[in-house]
Amino acid sequence: MPDNSHLIDEIRDMLLDSGLFNNLQAHEILSAAGYFNISSYEPDAIICNEGDAGTFMCIIHFGAVSICKTNSNGDNIEIAQLRKGRAFGEMAVLDGERRSASCVAISDCTLLVLAKDSLEKMLQEAPKVAAQVIRAIAVSMSKRLRMVDGQLVEQQI
């Protein structure tokens, strides 16, 4: 079996660098790192399409990603540009629903990827760590929802 400790150390450092998991202890981040992978995308590469099965989530380590939705006229509308440290795809991984938006690389991107089946495996093998990871993801989603709520209120004025 190959020694992948170097890769796990690299992923651990990337997880620490994201800022998403600041509430996890060092040994928890190291444990979680074993369940993530690294993927790279070139500009304009489609990472996932709206309506696809949500089989993975990503955290941006390098680069930028455009989040787009199709409106009722069939037009593709950019709703956000995400940069380093931001997660996307987590809703589909957590709730099992289809993708609510399409994600396209704006630039060269390096992403940390957590597959749904890897999250399930983490829940079985390291439930306390998995709970901390899910909590961190939920806090991130909650902050984003509060921000959008604030934007919607401002648009009503």
- Residue 80 sits in a domain of what CATH number? 2.60.120.10
d(CA 34, CA 7): 9
Into how many domains does the chain fold? 1
Confidence band for 4, pLDDT divided at 50, 70 and 90: confident
Confidence band for 9, pLDDT divided at 50, 70 and 90: very high
State phi, psi for 124 to the nearest 5 degrees: -75, -45
Edge-first strand order for the sheet with 56-62 is 37-41, 109-115, 56-62, 87-88
Confidence band for 142, pLDDT divided at 50, 70 and 90: confident
Percent over 70 (pLDDT), the chain: 95
Mean pLDDT over the full length of the chain: 90
Contact 79, 118 (CB under 8 A): no
Domain around 25: 5-156
How much is the pLDDT for 143?
A: 83
